[in-house]
Amino acid sequence: MWAVSTVTMLALAGLLPDFRLQSPSGDSATRIAVTAALGAGAFGVLSAVVWPLLVRLLLLVPAFVLGLLVFFLNGSLLLVALRINPSGQSEAAPETAVIVAAVMSAVASATGAALAVRDDDAYRRRLSRLADRRRRRQPPGPSTPGTVFLQLDGVGHEVLLAAARKGVLPTVARWLGTDNGTSTGTSTDNGTSTGTRTGAREGATHRLTPWRTDWSSQTGASQLGILHGSNHDVPAFRWYEKDSREVMVSNRPTSAAELQRRAVAATGDGGLLSLDGASRGNLFSGGADEQALVLSIATRRRGRDNRSRAGYFAYFSDPANAVRTAMSFVAEVGREIGQSVRARARGRRPRVSRGGLYPFVRAFATVVERDVVVAAVVGDLLAGRTAVYADLVAYDEVAHHSGPLGRDAEQVLARLDRALALIEKAAEHAPRPYRIVVLSDHGQSPGETFRARYGLTLGDLVRAGCGLPVPRRARRTRSGAEARAAVRAALRRPVEEGGGAHLPARRDREPIVLASGNLGLVSFPDVSHRMTREEIDARHPALLTTLANHPGIGFLLVRSERHGGVVLGPYGVEIPLDRLDEEPGPLAEFGPGAADAVRRTHSFPHTADIMVNSFHDPKDGEVLSFEEQIGSHGGLGGAQTRPFLLSPLALSEPTADGADLVGAEQVHQVLRRWLREPAGPQVPLTDDLGEAVLSVPGDRPRTLDEQPGTLDDEPGTPDDERAA
């Protein structure tokens, strides 16, 4: 590495006029080579000693500024290295030093990668050295296996299978025991999964299980339920709470902290990771002691219990990592710009705007966040932690703007597969065996936006249905004209030839319209309670009819004084919630479980006055997003409600007798059970008397009193938790 750095410095000195390694009068070739070697050596030592201290200061810098500072600080280290060079002959202009330092760090990183390619054991030896260092500083790890949960944000069950079949996910295909990812799963005509799982093929190490999300098919609801066991009263990604008069947003730090507090209060439990756990890149902590890039603690004052950005230090303390990630960040920005231009040139539809800051947001999610989280997980493995949960958001971010089934998203999946392979290799050098579980929190459904198809937003349609002023472009659309006509008909006013005037606006009575993918929420903030269908009709006679009859809307959920709750559809369809199983009406196109999901959301205290789910085409799985996304999630319809659970065969089956796995809270119970299975598969069953038993393969079912098993053997489990 030192030799390569020396040669690189000599080459740059010959190419860059403001960088020299000899005196003005000239030196011998030997002296120039010695100067380059000393300079490269000094730069390497400073990078190893001083750089970690600089990264401590970088933790106070916003993430988007971090990439630029990496280059400038690295250049400063090079200037210092040239200044302390014993030859005293080298110098460089400040702007040139930035270039030289970046190139040298990049070449050093590439050299290490090239050596690893030529020698398959190079990376394994590096991990082994890191593991040895940790073992010398800490006692031996336990013999029971730990568990790593890796969340591939937004990757649906069908998308995972298709990518494995095409060779995009070779690691996943190998775990499933087939190079082509052949699936034994089936689908119904309306695109919904029948719950059939990929069986244990010859050579397989993992099983694949689909599960079904709640109505709110988004990370906030799913991850809160998975990590903390309760996502009660999370109706969408964003919603308005009348009692506090605030809009809750799942990925806002203050909202995430409040949601986590509510979940802990509801369950009385710290979370899935409360016992020697680590939370990496998540919205919520899961009760973990070790946390990095966790949103729910981002608003706290920095202290011993707040290490939300500690993952940055652990990763960027290596200058090669810093420069490689910074250069990859720039390359990803360029890749996104190129892909966006190509999509426009080819006239690809559907399409949304991908300008502004989005290329930088995408680069941060697909490069910086991925690299930091993977490095943190590797560190957790070498430290021997009991449970690790990490979220990789790269695919979800790209699929929103490029589509969940396109080539752009496939490229991101391929890079995520390499991250899985890296973590798998790191587990081989951990002080304890590890089980790797891969899962997703939701899928994504394709489709154009509501605005692109109809020329107005859901907010415009709601305002028109209320008789409030709307933008001129919305008034000119067919939907806008129909809504205004419905208002006049409801008020028994004649339809005017020129379009007529709207009712006067009263800002204190204007509705709040929020979007969560293809799920819309309408709230009237001046009414302190959740309004009923009768109250809404008395106030805005044409609103519910306008929304229910719009071709871009699938169904509405409103409270009813007569029935408690009703689902409204086109042509006057009105079905009470307790009759949905016999008469699903508009919910029939949304597959099994839709009625239960709607009824559960209706029970939430903060459900909106009107819940709006978009149209869904069961033939191609498309929905209409109320946000500017061509790959969306948040409501019912299509692949967004069918994520996956990929678990080792050494763990028990997620559910008994092939039953469907429904809801994030059930997934939490499965993961919690797996954390209590260090000795092997044990499937909890229930006998005829309702007594909990443990079924062990090859043996009769025994009661917990007869065989306490791993519940009593688990190290560090509190007595009250064992008793439970």
Lowest mean pLDDT among 337-351, 451-465, 486-500: 486-500
For range 440-468, the mean pLDDT = 93
Contact 587, 570 (CB under 8 A): no
Same domain, 496 and 599: yes
Q: What local confidence, expressed as pLDDT, does residue 26 receive?
A: 61
CA torsion through residues 226, 230, 235, 239, sign: negative
Q: Is residue 378 part of a domain?
A: no
One domain, residues 702 and 622: no
Q: Which range, of 23-37, 339-353, 653-667, 693-707, averages the lowest pLDDT? A: 693-707
User: Residue 119: is its pLDDT beyond 90?
Assistant: no
- Residues 608 and 678 reside in one and the same domain: no
Closest CA to 460 of 537, 515, 525: 515
From CA 172, how far away is CA 110, in angstroms rounded?
27
Spatial distance between the Cα atoms of 236 and 720, rounded to a whole number of angstroms = 35
The residue range of the domain holding 692 is: 656-723
Nearest to 126 by CA among 375, 463, 295: 375
Helices 51-58/319-345 angle, 10° precision: 50
- 330 located within any domain: no
Q: How far apart are CA 269 and CA 248, in angstroms?
A: 23
Average pLDDT for residues 495-524, to the nearest whole number?
Answer: 71
- For the stretch 192-206, pLDDT in tens is 444 445 455 668 899
* pLDDT exceeds 50 at position 398: yes
Among 501-515, 633-647, 707-721, the range with the most confident prediction by mean pLDDT is: 633-647
User: What CA–CA distance (Å, rounded) separates 511 from 535?
Assistant: 14
Q: Are residues 612 and 463 part of one domain?
A: yes
| Cα atoms in the Cβ-side hemisphere of radius 13 Å centred on 331 | 9
Band (75; pLDDT cuts 50, 70, 90): low
> Is the torsion defined by CA of 209, 215, 220, 225 positive or negative?
negative
Do 528 and 670 belong together in one domain? Answer: no
Nearest to residue 557, comparing CAs of 571, 581, 542, 573?
Answer: 573
pLDDT in tens, 572-609: 999 999 999 999 999 999 988 999 999 999 999 999 99
Torsion over CA: 445, 447, 452, 455 (sign):
negative
Question: Cα dihedral sign for 333, 76, 115, 420?
Answer: negative
Same domain (yes/no): 8, 72:
yes
Report the C-alpha gap between 516 and 218 in whole angstroms.
8
Residue 718 corresponds to which amino acid?
P
**Is 607 part of a structural domain of the chain?**
yes
244 assigned to some structural domain:
no
Q: Is 100 within a domain?
A: yes
Question: Is residue 509 in a domain?
Answer: yes
pLDDT at 469: 83
Q: β-pairing, 616-617 with 622-623?
A: antiparallel
pLDDT at 271: 94
pTM: 0.78
Same domain (yes/no): 475, 586: yes
Q: What are phi and psi of 354, to 5 degrees?
A: -130, 30
Residues 260 and 30: their CA atoms lie apart, in Å, by: 64
pLDDT at 581: 92
pLDDT of residue 353: 87
Query: Do 538 and 624 sit in the same domain of this protein?
Result: yes
The pLDDT assigned to 705 comes to 38
Hey, which of 25-34, 290-299, 477-486 has the most confident mean pLDDT?
Answer: 290-299
Q: Is residue 509 located within the same domain as residue 466? A: yes
With pLDDT > 70 as the criterion, what percentage of the chain qualifies?
73
- Segment 633-639 shows an average pLDDT of 96
pLDDT of residue 23: 60
pLDDT for 694 equals 35
pLDDT in tens, 541-574: 999 999 999 999 999 999 999 889 999 999 999 9
Residue 301 domain-assigned?
Answer: no
Q: How confident is the model at residue 470 (pLDDT cuts 50, 70, 90)?
A: confident
600 falls within a domain: yes
What average pLDDT does the structure give for the chain? 80
| pLDDT computed for residue 675 by the predictor | 92
Same domain, 559 and 610: yes
Which of 589, 612, 629 is the C-terminal boundary of a domain? Answer: 629
From the list 640, 641, 642, 646, the residue with the least C-alpha distance to 149 is 646
Cβ burial of 165 (10 Å; 0-12, 13-18, 19+) is middle
**pLDDT tens digits, residue range 413-425?**
999 999 999 999 9
CB-based contact 718:268 (threshold 8 Å): no
Residue count of the chain, please give it: 724
- Look at the block and give the residue holding tokens 């309760």: 230
CA distance 287 to 296: 11
183 pLDDT higher than 50? no
3 vs 693: which has the higher pLDDT = 3
Name which of 86-95, 116-125, 378-387, 556-565 the model is least confident about: 116-125
583 with 692, same domain? no
Does residue 624 come out as left (phi exceeding 0), alpha (psi in the -120 to 50 range) or beta? Answer: beta
Q: What is the pLDDT of residue 189?
A: 39
- For residues 149 and 133, give the distance between their C-alpha atoms in angstroms, rounded to a whole number: 25
Residue found under tokens 């209590």: 676
* Domain limit, last residue, from 119, 146, 165: 119
pLDDT of residue 350: 86
Longest Cα separation, the chain: 99
720: pLDDT strictly greater than 60:
no
The arithmetic mean of pLDDT across residues 645-659, rounded, is 90
| End-of-domain residue from the set 586, 610, 629 | 629
575: left (phi over 0), alpha (psi -120 to 50) or beta: beta
Cα 88 from chain centroid? 52
Using CA atoms of 97, 101, 103, 106 in order, give the dihedral in degrees to the nearest 10: -170
Return the pLDDT at 653: 92
Nearest-10 Cα torsion for 132, 137, 138, 143: 10
CB atoms within 10 A of CB 337: 14
Mark whether 519 and 622 lie in a shared domain: yes
Q: Is the dihedral of CA 507, 508, 514, 519 positive or negative?
A: negative
Is-contact 607 235, C-beta < 8 A?
yes
Determine whether 545 is exposed, middle or buried from the number of CB atoms within 10 Å of its CB (0-12, 13-18, 19+). Answer: buried
CA gap 99, 210 in Å, rounded: 49
Integer Cα distance of 395 and 405 in angstroms: 11
DSSP lists the bridge partners of residue 19 as: 92
Inter-CA distances, 246 with 215, 467, 526, 532, Å: 22, 25, 13, 21
193 pairs with which residues across the strands?
A: 187
Which band of pLDDT confidence, cut at 50, 70 and 90, is reported for residue 310? Answer: low
Number of domains in the chain: 3
Higher pLDDT among residues 517 and 355, named by residue: 517
Question: pLDDT of 190-244, one tens digit each?
Answer: 444 444 454 556 688 999 999 999 999 999 999 999 999 999 999 999 999 999 9
